[in-house]
Chain A
Amino acid sequence: MLVLFWTDALIFLLVGVVVVFALYARRREHLRTPWRQVARSGVAMGSLVVLGFYVTIGLLDSVHFRSALHTNGDHDQVQYANEILSVFDWLAAPLRARGEKTYSAPFAAYLYAKQTIDLPDGRQQRQFPRLKYGARHLHHPETEKTADILVTAMFAAGKGLVVWGVLCSALIAGLGKRRQQTFRSLYARMCAGRTTTRWRSMLFTLGVLIVIAFVAADLSLKYHIFGTDKVGEDVFYQALKSIRTGLVIGTLTALVMLPFAVLLGIMAGYFGGWVDDVIQYLYTTLSSIPGVLLIAAAVLILQVYLDNHADEFASAAERADLRLLFLCLILGVTSWTSLCRYLRGETLKLRGSDYIQAATALGVRHFTIITRHILPNVMHIVLITVVLDFSALVLAEAVLSYVQIGVDPTMNSWGNMINSARLEMAREPIVWWSLLSAFIFMFSLVLAANLFSDALRDAFDPRLRVQG
């Protein structure tokens, strides 16, 4: 049975909007040109592939369902499990199911803490016990482990390369068919990097990512490659699950903020006078309140509400989801001001331009002028701001969760991982892998987003656009 969370619905709405926009832009030359320029940048296309990986995992993790239970018998009614899973959970079932007792280091065969073990002869001894799942297949982990890791990694890399090769050939063949070029000539041009779209960088990044993915997948079946946390859960799995949280915060916040910023910004700039005054006072006031304070207040109020009305929710996951959505809302409310300010300024400039005057002289209505003349001409600012804000919001989530006003503590997120690492870093011997894995995942996402947004900015900002 499919379960639709609020955030799931909004995410798919967003995907729908992006697809519709892409179809719309395909037929419009002025919208296509800057995207072509983005496609000419190797760095941007490489980043796009990385982002694509993240988005794929995030989307897989956004399709939730409750699996049917095997009912023993007589009545036809199908029973569903209480636990809500996502497609990603289902794919990563081996990771999810293999809980240890407590901390274990990456690639460890033993627990990180000594425990009292009953020896076969009845004596008791304190020692590091073997893990239940990690490196279980090895008889003498001390001697065999390194070789085993290497061999597994090599085999996985080989598999990855084969898959990559097949993918590349299919892509080149497909492209060649569409453009009526021979496989050979297209291949030669791609290798030399002489295609207008930077296929070489894309395919190279894709290759690297596929190899990493295969190696990580194969190794994680035998080891806990990023270790386990306090309750023995696989950190690699946690980090992967956190991707969805990060993406939701980064994208839905933009979705929440856009109507405010676009509508109010354009209205302030276009109508001027008291409308402008009211909107300006509104955002000046709002941006003078420390954002963290506002978010803390809102989230704490919500938490009280959730605690008092726990019975209104079907599951804890649903509650956590609502809190996530609410966090997006409140982040959106606090972050629309800067975009609004930009749009107001740009609209002020456009309002005086000749073509708006000409439209007024033709007797075109205000609403039509705004939608037909102003909105398309400020869209590049909206796009640049949204993409730039994305990485800032992903980082903001981490900070907010760290001070415990972010997402629900039961929800996987990089912020929560870092928050728990606060205690782990203080203990002796220290547990460093939670922090490190959260850092690696977050860093690569934000870096890719930033590199991509740089290219986007170059392509869309008319002031930076190179003539000729």
Chain B
Amino acid sequence: MSDAFVSVTGLSTHLGSDARPIRAVDGISFGIEKGETFALLGESGCGKSITALSLMRLLPASGRIMSGEVRFGSQDLLRLSEAEMRVVRGGGMAMIFQEPMTSLNPVLTIGAQVSEALRVHPRDTATTDVKHVLDLLHAVRIPDPEKRINEYPHQLSGGMKQRVMIAMALAGQPDLLIADEPTTALDVTIQAQVLDLMKQLQRQHGMAIFLITHDLGVVAEMADRIAVMYAGQIVEQAEREPFFSRPCHPYSRKLFESLPTMGKRHQALHVIEGFVPSLQTRFEGCRFAPRCDRAMNECHERAPVWHVAGTRKVLCHLYTRGEGVTRRNEPLSVPMSVDSATRLAAEPGPLLEVRALQVHFPIESGLFKRTIGHVRAVDGVDLAIRSGRTLALVGESGCGKTTIGKSILQLIRPTGGSVRFDGAELTSLARSELRRRRSDFQIIFQDPYSSMNPRMLVGDIIAEGMKAKSAGATPERRRARVERQLQQVGLAADSAARYPHEFSGGQRQRISIARALAVEPKLIICDEPTSALDVSVQAQILNLLRALQAEFKISYLFITHNISVVSYIADEIAIMYLGRIVESGTVGDVLLHPQHPYTQALLSAVPTLDSETRRQVIRLEGDIPSPSNPPTGCYFHPRCPKSMDTCRQRYPRRSKISEQHFVDCHLHTRDESHPGGLKR
């Protein structure tokens, strides 16, 4: 691998104290060729980011590189002085981070920040600074760079900020761009824009990209070669096509199998039991062995060695023994006991019916708090969920999904419309009456770390709802129910006496589910319950949610931006844009035959694993407008590739495509003025 442009050999990085170091990176080797995209794939806590920081020598204070060699061109980076390293950073290799919100200095203008990067790595002196900055902003396709150059980071959207970060990284004309989860914080349509931009810049400048991600879809879209990292080690290296057609390492295969897709709807997802081991442990055999269903005695006793076949390398005993290839494609699906099809005709009337729901937040200004406008977070939404069914509410960030969830629960009082739940109008209930009914509808939050009071025992957290409901009269009976609840969500009964911080993210999400279940709700609002979790843990939670639904006939309102999760778990789907629902219907109808241009764009922007059947990405320009000042007419028309004159003037009426499939779009309205409304 010594001929590669960047070659890393036996790199080991430790964090924390010397006595019990965290071996975040434990002897990894790889090479990156000029101009290629090399992706490092793995779950959180595997040491991906520390690998990148080790390359840049930007480790946190407690981190240190124990051994190894990082060759960058002709230099050995680990032997350079700090002063020489500074020239390499930015000049030779540049880095962009996950969180564009915090990577820019909020008190400096965009121009000042980009030109700072330029001053550190000056090019030719003929052109002026400003000209350079404009060129760079132009290169990363920021519209209207002459104006943007004087704006501050808070005036830009997340996608714009990430472009500015890329512009700063490009300022030094690097040969290697390290991108640490560059699009994880962005919406799908914006992610598509940024990935597209990165690919284009790579072609123009011929730089190599070292892409770190946990998202198989992004890898499929971007990477030329892939390394899979697990517990501080690389376990598999391959080129893209062979990797996606047949992943070799059991871990890689499990990752694919735990991805939710529409095809797996009628079965339970395959899960990787347990979680990534602590990197403080000293490993005896294969690190994946405790979670591997193919583990043999040998796996627990001896660390595996690399098995090389052409461009592929895999670190697994199965291959060194020649077994791996033969048993690769066995069926792994586990049939689900209750099929969603049999639930279809479960109950006729809707459990929850939302009509013309409005949530407007006043914008106040001045000394006397005069209302000068409204943020129309939710602007006339109709929804209906039947008992035992799952409705997915899909949309990009800022479109009002979470506000809908909270206003159904009356955590935010809606400003208009009606919420009928099980025959009662929630918006007009008296407070005490509402409190009594609250146990019927519960919520599960996105962030498993902030959704529980850190100062309460798990048992008390779960029992809280019972106490409020005065269920389980005696403490003994309550304790028994808490234990039953914990077992139901797959946790040990003795978890009750521990604090939330002792649990991993997935386990905490189980506790949240147990807390909601403890009051026997009929409806649970799941507000992005898996988006903070790794793929394998996400599969565990999705399976759990489905099993609980089958057992207790609970309805879910599933709020998410993740289309693959929707396609797996939902029965019906509603697509939201800027506070309104633009298309709704059954999952099959909407996902397979999207009618609204926004739905079409959204679906096409989702990175797909299968490179053969990849759809043409419909690129949306610009960002989501502000809900305080929505565009006239159809809210989507400024970004819509098919917008017409009517779109600018009137908001479209609802049109019926089929019995359950509705869409708000002028393309589908058949009124008098546009007899040929369907001009696609």
Question: Other than the known A362-B464, A363-B436, A364-B468, what 9 A-B pairs have Cβ atoms closer than 8 Å?
Answer: A357-B406, A357-B443, A361-B438, A361-B441, A363-B438, A363-B439, A365-B468, A368-B468, A373-B453
Contact with A along B427-453 (1 / 0, CB 8 A): 000000001111101110101001111
Contact B468 A355 (CB under 8 A): no
Partner of B450, one of A354, A362, A365, A376: A354
Contact B499 A29 (CB under 8 A): yes
* Chain A interface bracket (under 10, 10 to 19, 20 to 34, 35 or more): 20 to 34
A169 CB-CB contact with B under 8 Å? no
Q: Which 8 A-B pairs have the closest CB atoms?
A: A363-B438, A362-B465, A354-B451, A354-B445, A376-B455, A364-B468, A363-B435, A363-B468
Contact with A along B449-473 (1 / 0, CB 8 A): 0111111100000001101110000
Identify whether the interface residues of A are mostly helix, strand, loop, or mixed.
helix
Residues of B within 8 A of A372 (CB): 453, 456, 464
A373 to B461, CA, bound (A): 10
Residues of B within 8 A of A365 (CB): 435, 468
Residues of A within 8 A of B17 (CB): 468
B451: nearest chain-A partner, CB-CB:
A354
Contact B465 A363 (CB under 8 A): yes
A439 to B499, CA, bound (A): 47
Contact with B along A446-468 (1 / 0, CB 8 A): 00000000000000000000001
A376 to B515, CA, bound (A): 20
Contact A354 B499 (CB under 8 A): no
| B-to-A contact residues, CB < 8 Å | 15-17, 62, 406, 409, 411, 435-439, 441-443, 445, 447, 450-456, 464-465, 467-469, 499, 512, 515-516, 519
Contact B464 A357 (CB under 8 A): no
- 6 interchain pairs, CB-CB under 8 A: A357-B443, A362-B438, A362-B468, A363-B469, A364-B467, A376-B455
Contact B447 A354 (CB under 8 A): yes
Known: A363-B435, A363-B469, A364-B468. A358 touches B445 (CB 8 A): yes
**Nearest CB of B to A5, in Å:** 37
A410 CB-CB contact with B under 8 Å? no
Residues of B within 8 A of A373 (CB): 453, 456
Known: A363-B436, A468-B62. A358 touches B451 (CB 8 A): yes
Residues of B within 8 A of A376 (CB): 453, 455
**Nearest CB of A to B361, in Å:** 13
Contact A377 B451 (CB under 8 A): no
**Nearest CB of A to B499, in Å:** 6
Residues of A within 8 A of B447 (CB): 354
Contact A360 B464 (CB under 8 A): no
Instruction: Tell me the A48-83 residues at the B interface (CB within 8 Å).
Output: none
Known: A362-B464, A362-B519, A468-B16. A377 touches B438 (CB 8 A): no
Contact A377 B453 (CB under 8 A): yes
Contact B452 A355 (CB under 8 A): yes
Contact A358 B469 (CB under 8 A): no
Residues of A within 8 A of B15 (CB): 468
Residues of A within 8 A of B409 (CB): 361
A368 to B445, CA, bound (A): 21
Known: A354-B445, A377-B455. A361 touches B411 (CB 8 A): yes
**Nearest CB of B to A211, in Å:** 37
A77 to B165, CA, bound (A): 91
Known: A30-B455, A360-B411, A363-B436. A353 touches B499 (CB 8 A): no
Contact B411 A357 (CB under 8 A): yes
Residues of A within 8 A of B452 (CB): 354-355, 358
Contact B442 A361 (CB under 8 A): yes
Partner of A361, one of B443, B456, B467: B443
A377 to B452, CA, bound (A): 12
Instruction: Tell me the A388-440 residues at the B interface (CB within 8 Å).
Output: none
A117 CB-CB contact with B under 8 Å? no
Residues of A within 8 A of B455 (CB): 30, 376-377
A30: nearest chain-B partner, CB-CB:
B455
A361 to B440, CA, bound (A): 10
B411, B453, B454 interface centre (most CB from chain A within 10 Å): B453
B16: nearest chain-A partner, CB-CB:
A468
A275 CB-CB contact with B under 8 Å? no
Contact A362 B453 (CB under 8 A): no
**Nearest CB of A to B307, in Å:** 36
Residues of B within 8 A of A358 (CB): 443, 445, 451-452, 512, 515-516
| A-to-B contact residues, CB < 8 Å | 29-30, 353-355, 357-365, 368, 372-373, 376-377, 468
A373 to B500, CA, bound (A): 14
Contact B442 A355 (CB under 8 A): no
A28: nearest chain-B partner, CB-CB:
B455
**Nearest CB of A to B419, in Å:** 14
Contact A359 B464 (CB under 8 A): yes
Residues of A within 8 A of B467 (CB): 364
Contact B435 A30 (CB under 8 A): no
Known: A30-B499, A358-B443, A362-B464. A353 touches B450 (CB 8 A): yes
**Nearest CB of B to A321, in Å:** 39
**Nearest CB of B to A381, in Å:** 14
A376 to B455, CA, bound (A): 7
A376 to B409, CA, bound (A): 26
A353: nearest chain-B partner, CB-CB:
B450
**Nearest CB of A to B432, in Å:** 10
A70 to B447, CA, bound (A): 75
A29 to B500, CA, bound (A): 12
Contact B438 A355 (CB under 8 A): no
**Nearest CB of B to A232, in Å:** 57
**Nearest CB of A to B592, in Å:** 35
A373 to B455, CA, bound (A): 8
A354 to B451, CA, bound (A): 4
**Nearest CB of A to B635, in Å:** 27
A353, A355, A360 interface centre (most CB from chain B within 10 Å): A355
A363 to B455, CA, bound (A): 20
Residues of B within 8 A of A363 (CB): 435-439, 465, 468-469, 519
Residues of A within 8 A of B464 (CB): 359, 362, 364, 372
Known: A362-B465, A363-B439, A468-B62. A355 touches B453 (CB 8 A): yes
A358 to B409, CA, bound (A): 10
Residues of A within 8 A of B450 (CB): 353-355
A354 to B439, CA, bound (A): 17
Residues of B within 8 A of A29 (CB): 499
A284 to B16, CA, bound (A): 46
Residues of A within 8 A of B62 (CB): 468
Residues of B within 8 A of A361 (CB): 409, 411, 438, 441-443
**Nearest CB of B to A29, in Å:** 6
A377 to B16, CA, bound (A): 28
Partner of A362, one of B16, B439, B499: B439
A181 to B516, CA, bound (A): 48
A11 to B662, CA, bound (A): 72
A358 to B439, CA, bound (A): 11
Residues of B within 8 A of A368 (CB): 468
Residues of A within 8 A of B437 (CB): 363
Residues of B within 8 A of A364 (CB): 464-465, 467-468
A353 to B515, CA, bound (A): 16
Residues of A within 8 A of B441 (CB): 361
B451, B464, B467 interface centre (most CB from chain A within 10 Å): B464
A277: nearest chain-B partner, CB-CB:
B369
B466: nearest chain-A partner, CB-CB:
A362
Residues of A within 8 A of B443 (CB): 357-358, 361
A358 to B519, CA, bound (A): 12
**Nearest CB of B to A36, in Å:** 15
**Nearest CB of B to A351, in Å:** 11
A376 to B456, CA, bound (A): 9
**Nearest CB of B to A363, in Å:** 4
**Nearest CB of B to A275, in Å:** 16
A368 to B456, CA, bound (A): 13
Contact B445 A357 (CB under 8 A): yes
A368: nearest chain-B partner, CB-CB:
B468
A373 to B464, CA, bound (A): 11
Residues of A within 8 A of B468 (CB): 359, 362-365, 368
